[in-house]
Amino acid sequence: MIMILSGAGLSAESGIKTFRDHDGLWENYDVMQVCSTQGWKADRALVTQFYNARRKDLEDKKPNRAHKALAELEKKYPGQIYNLTQNVDDLLEKAGCEEVIHLHGTLRDLRCEACSHIWDVGYSSQEYSENCPVCKSDSIRHNVVMFGEAAPMYSRIYEAIQKCQLFIAIGTSGQVIDIVPIASEFQHSILINPKREEYMTSFGSKGRYIDAYFEHFLQSGAGEAVDEMMRIIEEFMDA
């Protein structure tokens, strides 16, 4: 089986920006205010407004070659792919993927704080008049994991490590989820990233690049790397 872990670099070519593209400010919002539990407690209206705008932004965004390649993989090798993403956009789904594991939540959904029910609102805004369709609570929030709260889907990472023999990291700098210990569990691995990143541990830099821990390093944007990635995957699956 194949474990795929994608990050912001997968969606960058589709015009999706993340807070890492900005310097503490994201579309004029303070990142810590809109992406942390403290900010959420301090001003729910502001945070809601922010996610409403991000959700609306998604509507006209289109999947790129890399999203489409991952959808193709799912069809070609049914039940063989763990498609894990740190992205909260819906471009993998737009490309035709049906089994995406969103590690950091999803922009298109709202969540009930009372019963944890999650439902799709498309690209529409949260208006404060919603009630949970299941328990009728009016305590409703966006469905994006914030700094300061648990990410329950992370358990799927460990599950994938146990079950898969090939690990592919696409467009992630390894700053949020450390991909080096994951890659170290695999004999076969591919890293796709336009930039060489130094491996920073909590003790500081080890003076090595992250790509040193991978079997293959494709130093390019996600879309550009697709053909070579597919070639390596086919070779692996045929072996």
In the bound state with Zn ion, the residue whose beta carbon lies nearer, of 120 and 227, is 120
Q: Are strands 166-170 and 2-6 parallel, antiparallel or unpaired?
A: parallel
Q: Could you give the angle at which helices 222-238 and 65-76 cross, rounded to 10 degrees?
A: 20
**Annotated catalytic residue within 104, 117, 188, 216:** 104
In the bound state with Zn ion, the residue whose beta carbon lies nearer, of 101 and 118, is 118
- Give the CA diameter of the chain: 56
Residues in the chain: 239
Task: Judge whether 104 counts as a catalytic residue.
Answer: yes
- Calpha distance 201→38 (Å, rounded): 27
- Calpha distance 187→208 (Å, rounded): 19
Helix (H) or strand (E) holding 65: helix 65-76
The footprint of Zn ion (CB under 5 A) covers 112, 114-115, 117, 132, 134-135, 137
Report in angstroms how near the CB of residue 130 gets to Zn ion at its nearest: 10
Report in angstroms how near the CB of residue 90 gets to Zn ion at its nearest: 22
In the bound state with Zn ion, the residue whose beta carbon lies nearer, of 17 and 117, is 117
Provide the annotated active-site residues: 104
